[in-house]
Amino acid sequence: MNKILYWSPFTSKVATVKSVINSVEAVNKYLNDKYKAIILDAVHEWQDYSLELNRRNIEVIHLNKNSMFNSFKKDGFIRSRFAYLYIFFKSLLPLHHQLITQKPKYLIIHLITSLPLLLFIFKSYETKLILRVSGLPKMTFIRKIIWKLSSKKIYKITCPTQDTLRDLSRFSFLKDKLIVLKDPIIKCTEIQKSKSKKVSLSVNSEKIVLEKDFFLSIGRFTKQKNFIFYLKCIPEILRLNKNLYFLFIGHGEDEEIFNKLAKKLNISERIIVINNTDNVHYFMKKSKCLVLTSLWEDPGFVLVEAGYNNCQVITSDCPNGPKEIVNEDGGYLFQSNNPSSFLKSINDFLKDNEANRISKKIKLKKRLKGYTFYHHSLVLKKILI
């Protein structure tokens, strides 16, 4: 049995974490005649996912028995950089030892990729290295040097969207290694079960979700998701439809700023914030539409999940993914970070006829076949030798 190790240490619960778990499950379910996928836990960062990993029968290899990673804060620029450095130096030798002794067939790397890339630059392994791009990377001077020096050791570079592949094709030393591998997001049976599973909410929130029209947004309260921009537009949206409510699922460093601004704009009674849920499908089923205001996505997990759940989508045309998936005929696109364009798309949606809305839902859902677990395994099978 050929081992495939997944390296993806993280400092916060980003979408890539879910992508890794889903990819491992897809390999172990559909390619189990030849391959076994295992997650590498660098510094106990996967600790909070232990129950889910056990439920999915996913094996984890712990590189470090002792770690203080979960005892210090990792939010903000400085703290997150300290966390990166801790992971790097704590896992350098253990990862090297794992590659030397276990000799896995493949090492698929997602996050904090500089460590395995540097190891492969200075050492030859029997393992093939696959760089999984998760979101369009900023090609900084240091990253460009590391990628260029390690390019001969990289077997393949997988991109989640065609747009990302085109962007990275600008670099001649990467061009021949690039291939599109869409994220495994849709697990049909699990989504069907989740949609009918009730979610525990406060009395006020439950009343709104069950009885009122609401727009749904999901993601961390960070610069990327651009919720502050959205919030500033809500008074104008309420002029278009005074009965709307706005549900946000997530938390993050901008949450306090968000709440203060909502009070300043006198719209707090129209805003519901749920910090966390393991069942976004329930809310997608009941919402009037999903609103995605991100400054960048690749491709946007919630967008794919919403489309599969027959939830209408209003999204920015940010790089790299939403426009590729939604286009003009699969939802309502607006120019990223442009208030007038955003309000126009909202107005277009609110005034649109039901036949056109249904047509957009159907066309969007047809484009999402490539995001199933099974399709992911088929493409990955072609990459693996």
- pLDDT for 227 equals 96
Domain 188-367: CATH architecture, name and number where available: 3-Layer(aba) Sandwich (3.40)
The 3-state DSSP class for residue 196 equals coil
Q: What is the mean pLDDT of the chain?
A: 92
CATH, domain 2-185+371-383, list 3.40.50.2000, 3.30.460.10, 3.10.28.10, 3.20.20.140: 3.40.50.2000
- pLDDT for 195 equals 63
- pLDDT for 338 equals 97
Low-confidence ranges of the chain (pLDDT < 70): 193, 195-196
Where in the chain do CATH 3.40.50.2000 domains reside? 2-185+371-383, 188-367
Give ∠ CA 10-16-20 in degrees, rounded to 5: 95
Question: What's at 251, amino acid-wise?
Answer: H
- pLDDT for 196 equals 66
Percent of the chain beyond pLDDT 90?
76
Answer for the pair 336, 317: CB distance below 8 angstroms, yes or no: yes
Enter the DSSP assignment of 338.
-
Nearest to 240 by CA among 213, 209, 203, 271: 213
Answer for the pair 59, 87: CB distance below 8 angstroms, yes or no: no
- pLDDT for 13 equals 77
**Alpha-carbon distance values, 360 to 49, 182, 332, 345, 365 (Å):** 36, 22, 9, 14, 9
